[in-house]
Amino acid sequence: MTDNTPLRILVVEDSALTAEQVCELIRCVSFPVVISDVATEQEALAAVRASAPDAIILDLNLRQGSGFGVLRELASLDAKPAVAILTNFALPRYRELSALMGSDYFLDKARDFALIPRIINSINDRKRLVSPAQTNNTIEAKAEPT
């Protein structure tokens, strides 16, 4: 990835208001991004296949399907995007299961929402500075990565 190449971000959120707020926070970063948003598990999987995002901001509780279904499908990809779970259901069991299924971060919507730009910056740094063979390493951040 060159310095001019936008970071491709997929927001999977069934609340239009929350999705817009997440997109606004992502737009605060100082590098180019391409943001798309979808509201269902099926739309998320289609978007992943069509555009191979670098990062996904993923709600667990969707009106149709779930974030866990998305995580399950992502596990079969060769090039996996970085995944930040953003949920109202920040239960320890969900955090553990998300980590086991490959998420990189786990955020509570009520308390960690403002950390989204920092996480996007970390993902961008990792994409630009680390070789593809090393991108599965967990990045330490205040947002309690999984």
The predicted structure's pLDDT at residue 127: 87
Residue 81 phi, psi dihedral angles, 5° rounding:
-75, 160
Task: Report all structural domains of the chain as residue ranges with CATH numbers, in order of start.
Answer: 7-134 (3.40.50.2300)
Check if the beta carbon of residue 12 is closer than 8 Å to that of residue 37.
yes
pLDDT digits (tens, 9 = 90+) for 62-73: 999 999 999 999
Nearest 5 degrees, angle CA 80-CA 100-CA 132?
25
- Three-state DSSP class for 76? coil
pLDDT digits (tens, 9 = 90+) for 91-140: 999 999 999 999 999 999 999 999 999 999 999 999 887 644 444 444 33
The predicted structure's pLDDT at residue 134: 47
Q: Which residues on adjacent β-strands are paired with residue 15? A: none
Rounded Cα distance between 127 and 59, Å, is 22
Alpha carbons within 13 angstroms on the beta-carbon side of residue 127 total: 25
Check if the beta carbon of residue 39 is closer than 8 Å to that of residue 67.
no
Task: Provide the token pair at 121.
Answer: 């910056």
The predicted structure's pLDDT at residue 1: 44
Rounded Cα distance between 33 and 47, Å, is 16
pTM across the whole model: 0.87
Q: Is the pLDDT of residue 84 over 60?
A: yes
pLDDT grade for 8, boundaries at 50, 70 and 90: very high
Query: How confident is the prediction for the chain on average, in pLDDT?
Result: 89
Rounded Cα distance between 113 and 107, Å, is 7
